[in-house]
Amino acid sequence: MILDKPTPDAFEVSHEVQALPTTPPALYSWSVKRINLPRASIWIWPIGLTIWPVLTIIIFRDLYTDFFITYAIFISGAILTCLCILSDALKRTDFNYRIHPEKGELDYRPRYFKHEGLVYKCVAAAGLLVLLAVAAYTESIIFILGAGGLILTALRLSSWEPPPTEYETSLPWHEYNYVTIDRYFLIIAVHVDEEQCGFEARLPNKELFEQYLAFLRTVLPPSAQYREGIWWG
């Protein structure tokens, strides 16, 4: 039996490349800088800074009669506390939103100065030296145990590193049943139930706020409930 001789066309390879599915362009996209802290937690920091001096005097005035020790404890604790507040609570965060017809996307990362990590480490080292100096001055191991919280805070600052960018994706719009409209802070939050947890959209201005709210009314279920008030999530 004689086989047919293959033609050159039989060895040709197709170079056609199928286009990969791409994400459709966002209907809305914006960036905004805000403090990434729940509304309920903002008021805790001023209260804590107010009662800190009072607690220091009450706790240590009966343990030590030397004012140097009390002042050293107060100053080191106040410095470390203020640094924690500045690094965690009052740090502005860059939020980048992309709103698609079927869902919303968000990525965010806190803003940091170029040499902020070095500053934290230096101050943490200074705070530890103050604590060790006071412990050596009083010759008391109990002081080290009592100041364990301050030491842990200093160690935390000494190992500080900028956090990575975090990403968040909402559920499909039709799965949300509740909307909280916060006109004071320009926040619109969609959530599945009445709990204060959902996809938060921080808007930069009132015009975009109204546009995004009008968009949600077209994609959310007709049974979705809208409530105006402060978003405490």
pLDDT digits (tens, 9 = 90+) for 6-26: 554 544 444 444 444 456 688
Per DSSP, the residues of 108-144 read EEE---TTHHHHHHHHHHHHHHHHHHHHHHHT-HHHH
- Nearest CA-CA partner of 203 in 42, 40, 30: 30
Asked if residues 173 and 222 have their Cβ atoms less than 8 Å apart, the reply is no
Least confident of 5-14, 62-71, 107-116: 5-14
More confident residue, 10 or 44: 44
Q: What is the pLDDT of residue 20?
A: 42
Least confident of 20-24, 36-40, 214-218, 220-224: 20-24
Q: What is the pLDDT of residue 62?
A: 56
What are the two backbone dihedrals, phi and then psi, of residue 153, each rounded to the nearest 5 degrees? -65, -40
Q: What is the pLDDT of residue 231?
A: 86
More confident residue, 100 or 46: 100
Q: What is the pLDDT of residue 70?
A: 61
Confidence of residue 184 (pLDDT cuts 50, 70, 90): very high
Q: What is the pLDDT of residue 188?
A: 96
Residue 89 burial (10 A CB sphere; 0-12, 13-18, 19+): middle
Q: How distant, in Å, are the alpha carbons of 24, 158, 223 from that of 144?
A: 58, 18, 59
Least confident of 7-21, 136-150, 209-223: 7-21
What share of the chain has pLDDT > 90, as a percent?
34
- The mean predicted confidence, pLDDT, of the chain is 75
pLDDT digits (tens, 9 = 90+) for 185-202: 999 999 998 776 789 999
Q: What value does the mean pLDDT take over residues 134-156?
A: 63
Cβ-based neighbours of 203, under 8 Å, separated by 6 or more: 30, 32, 186, 187, 188, 209, 212
Report the range out of 36-40, 72-76, 78-82, 214-218 with the highest average pLDDT.
214-218
Q: Where are the alpha helices (DSSP H) in the chain?
A: 39-42, 44-60, 67-84, 116-138, 141-146, 148-158, 206-219
Cβ-based neighbours of 140, under 8 Å, separated by 6 or more: none
- One-letter identity of residue 75: I
Q: What value does the mean pLDDT take over residues 208-225?
A: 95
